[in-house]
Amino acid sequence: MGGEEIAGEIVGGFADAVAFQAERRDGFVADFSVEQVLPRILQQAGPREVEPFTESFLRSLRSAQFFAGRYYRLWGRHHEEVRHREALARDLAALHVEKDSLVQTHAVEFQRMRASWTFRVGRLLVAPFGALRRVLSAARR
């Protein structure tokens, strides 16, 4: 296995380590540097012969650090958006409950009002006929 292949494996391991740390801390992760993570990754790589000081290797590692940081920022932004959407969903559910309560209250009030107006209008309509019936009854006698 050549130095470039080993560098590729280590770069992948570095990105995985940063992503794991980002997820483990639930949205907050310290700035990782190549110098902080490299010893642990090299230790995990085993006794293989590694060329950690070649220019291309360090360049690959720094680009992995950059992309891992970018991944973390995107992950954090996504996490915030999910929290924001959940808060909006809770607010919307509360508004639906409030709307349903208001609709129910207005329906009860409308029924009361309608019943009272129906009774009043009914009395107004029946009253003349009642008077007419009384007049006709009196005339028959």
Q: What pLDDT, on the 0 to 100 scale, is given for residue 32?
A: 54
What is the domain range of residue 30? Answer: 3-103
For residue 132, tell me if it sits in a domain.
no
Beta strand residue intervals within 12-118, DSSP E: none
For residue 28, tell me if it sits in a domain.
yes
Top pLDDT among 74 and 43 is at 74
For residue 99, tell me if it sits in a domain.
yes
The residues near 54 (Cβ < 8 Å, ≥ 6 apart) are 3, 7
For residue 74, tell me if it sits in a domain.
yes
Q: Indicate if the pLDDT at residue 97 is higher than 70.
A: yes
Q: What are 132's two structure tokens?
A: 């007419």
For residue 64, tell me if it sits in a domain.
yes
Summarize the confidence of residues 19-44 as an average pLDDT: 55
Largest CA-CA distance found in the chain, in angstroms, rounded: 129
Summarize the confidence of residues 76-101 as an average pLDDT: 85
For residue 108, tell me if it sits in a domain.
no
Summarize the confidence of residues 2-28 as an average pLDDT: 55
Top pLDDT among 11 and 88 is at 88
Query: What percent of the chain stands above pLDDT 90?
Result: 0
The band of 1, judged by pLDDT with boundaries at 50, 70 and 90, is very low
Q: What pLDDT, on the 0 to 100 scale, is given for residue 55?
A: 55
For residue 57, tell me if it sits in a domain.
yes
Q: Indicate if the pLDDT at residue 95 is higher than 80.
A: yes
The residues near 58 (Cβ < 8 Å, ≥ 6 apart) are 34, 52
For residue 112, tell me if it sits in a domain.
no
Question: Which residue type occupies 8?
Answer: G
Q: Is the pTM of this model over 0.75?
A: no
Domain tally, the chain: 1
Q: Indicate if the pLDDT at residue 17 is higher than 70.
A: no
Kindly report, residue by residue over 58-76, the tens digit of the pLDDT: 666 667 767 766 777 777 7
